[in-house]
Structure 1
Amino acid sequence: MSQSVLLTIARASIEEVLQAENSINRTELLTLYPLLSQPLECEIILYLDNKVRGRSRSLRVDTSLLEEIIHNAKIAAFQDENFDPLVTSEYLHTTIKLTLFTSDGELTHQSEAILKG
């Protein structure tokens, strides 16, 4: 599975809230990427200007990786107690770091901001 798929899911999760619409086709993603149906712990950290802007980490692994990515992205963006909810202007400059915690160790993927500068 490509890291861009995981980061695309994280971005789409945030965009669902910002745009107030459901856009993630869970059935299609689970069909295309069966690994997403497996339980796996993950963490999402949002960065704005190279500073943490929100974070969320799974503390359980009883749901699918797909649902964990969606859940953690939304929590990091809108419900982290240390920050106000993310707004669109910030989102466009936000970098997303996604870490998977596997039995073989940590796997980290990081996106670029949509707009740089």
Structure 2
Amino acid sequence: MSQSVLLTIARASIEEVLQAQTSIDRIELLENYPVLSQPMECEITLYLDNQLRGSARTTSLSRPLLEEIIHNAKIAAFQDEQFDPLVTSEYLHTTIKLTLFTPDGALSHQSEPILKG
């Protein structure tokens, strides 16, 4: 599975809240990427201007990876108690780091901000 798919899911999760509409097609994603239906620990970390802006990590393996990515992205953006909820102007400049915790070790992928500067 492409790292961009995972990061796209994370970004879309945040956008769903900012735009107040559902856009993630869970059925299609699970059909195209069966690994998303398996439980797996993950962490979403947000950075704004290279500074931590929010973070959330899986605390149990009760949900499939797809739901963990969606849940953790929303928690990191809007419910991290160390920060105010993310606003659109910040989101556009936010870097997202997604880390999967596999039996072989941690795998991290990072997206660039939508707008730089």
TM-score exceeds 0.5? yes
Residues matched between the structures, number: 117
Superposition RMSD on alpha carbons, in Å? 0.3
Q: Which residue of 1 aligns with 2:40?
A: 40
**Runs of 4 or more off by more than 2 Å in structure 1?**
none
Structure 1's unaligned 5+ residue stretches are: none
Q: Which residue of 2 aligns with 1:64?
A: 64
Aligned-pair identity (%): 79
Structure 2: distance between partners of 1:61 and 1:42: 10
Structure 1: distance between partners of 2:98 and 2:45: 7
Query: So what's the TM-score if we normalise by structure 2?
Result: 1.00
Structure 2: distance between partners of 1:44 and 1:73: 6
Query: So what's the TM-score if we normalise by structure 1?
Result: 1.00
Helix, strand or coil at the partner of 1:70:
helix
Structure 1: distance between partners of 2:59 and 2:71: 12
Deviations 1:39-94 (A, max 9, x none): 00000000000000000000111110000000000000000000000000000000
Structure 1: distance between partners of 2:59 and 2:81: 17
Structure 2's unaligned 5+ residue stretches are: none
